[in-house]
């Protein structure tokens, strides 16, 4: 039996997407991007996604009303940001809360930045500069059992991931295609204050059942954007969006930096161009937070955050969700 709020828009006063969900002191906090209504044509580079601030959502429980806690950070408060504040995540350390977010700098290059708050709902004060050496979008932060902080990120096309294959930014870089190896997300260890990387960013490998890297043409399984990592019985599970085919898939690994072996599909396509998720354990059960375009009737850049129960077997196998069944 589903909960009252399950698979329903959690808030309707604003459009929200890309939810990163966490539990702090028994309360659920959700860190989404904030879609805004703009008359901008859709394109493959995401010009229609003109988000410019962050609101934090919170729930006392999964059955309680979801609260929009108001403005937590605006692009005008971040000295290095030019535009497009996309999907964020957050981690906590030593009583502080660190919002990690992507945005285009003044040169139209996506970087990751960090803002600090004393509360899970902010407000957050940003650092003056982005994380040195960071690029692309969709940060997801895992605080491992030993206290190390790992950042995963990266997105193709408008997220600019493929533009960094040479080690520096090249907007004309060749996009992998056909039998060429698909690109994976970026991995690096993050400092305790979220201001810098402690390790050189590296690409994560996602392998098929034969131990071979997934190919660019394998759009049902290859990585596109939206990484998330959770742990289950000591194993690391990387989940992500396939973008063009609109699936959420997952892969399993023994180390936080991979390699990861493809295992299956978490969610079938939702209404809208794609989806972006997080996975969190609440009161002993696992839940998937995601978005679709139900609230706007299918407008791809006017989305709404939802959640649904996620069934994970003892061996880590995840049951595929059909979102409208």
Residues with active-site annotation: 18, 225
**For residues 21 and 100, what is the distance between their CA atoms, to the nearest angstrom?**
13
**For residues 121 and 119, what is the distance between their CA atoms, to the nearest angstrom?**
5
**For residues 273 and 301, what is the distance between their CA atoms, to the nearest angstrom?**
9
Q: Let me know: does 129 contact 106? Beta carbons within 8 Å.
A: no
The enclosing H or E element of 22 equals strand 15-24
CA 171 to chain centre: 23
Strands 27-35 and 278-282: unpaired
Count of CB atoms situated within 10 Å of the CB of 9: 18
**For residues 184 and 261, what is the distance between their CA atoms, to the nearest angstrom?**
12
* Burial readout 21-53 (b: 16 or more C-beta within 10 A, e: otherwise): bbeeeeebbbbbbbbeeeeeeeeeebebbebbb
Q: Let me know: does 36 contact 51? Beta carbons within 8 Å.
A: yes
Dihedral over Cα of 313, 319, 323, 325: its sign: negative
**For residues 253 and 237, what is the distance between their CA atoms, to the nearest angstrom?**
6
């Amino acid at each position: 039996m589903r909960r009252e709020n399950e698979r329903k828009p959690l808030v309707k006063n604003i459009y929200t997407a890309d939810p990163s969900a966490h539990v702090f002191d028994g309360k659920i906090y959700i860190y989404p991007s904030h879609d805004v209504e703009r008359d901008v044509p859709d394109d493959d580079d995401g010009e229609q996604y003109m988000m410019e601030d962050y609101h934090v959502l919170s729930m006392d429980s999964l059955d309680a009303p979801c609260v929009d806690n108001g403005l937590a950070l605006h692009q005008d408060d971040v000295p290095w940001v030019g535009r497009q504040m996309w999907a964020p995540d957050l981690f906590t350390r030593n009583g502080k809360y660190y919002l990690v977010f992507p945005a285009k700098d003044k040169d139209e290059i996506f970087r990751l930045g960090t803002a600090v708050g004393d509360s899970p709902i902010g407000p957050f004060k940003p650092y003056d500069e982005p994380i040195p050496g960071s690029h692309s979008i969709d940060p997801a932060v895992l605080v491992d059992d030993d206290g190390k902080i790992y950042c995963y990120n990266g997105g193709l096309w408008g997220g600019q991931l493929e533009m960094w294959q040479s080690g520096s930014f090249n907007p004309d870089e060749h996009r992998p295609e056909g039998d060429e190896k698909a690109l994976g997300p970026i991995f690096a260890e993050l400092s305790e204050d979220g201001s810098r990387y402690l390790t050189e960013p590296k690409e994560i490998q996602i392998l098929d059942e034969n131990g071979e890297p997934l190919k660019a043409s394998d759009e049902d399984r290859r990585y596109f954007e939206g990484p998330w990592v959770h742990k289950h019985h000591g194993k690391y599970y990387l989940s992500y969006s396939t973008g063009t085919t609109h699936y959420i898939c997952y892969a399993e690994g023994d180390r936080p930096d991979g390699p990861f072996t493809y295992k299956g599909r978490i969610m079938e396509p939702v209404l809208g161009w794609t989806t972006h998720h997080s996975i969190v354990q609440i009161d002993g059960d696992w839940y998937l937070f995601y978005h679709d375009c139900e609230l706007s009737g299918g407008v791809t850049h006017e989305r709404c955050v939802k959640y649904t129960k996620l069934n994970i077997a003892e061996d880590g196998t995840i049951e595929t969700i059909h979102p409208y069944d």
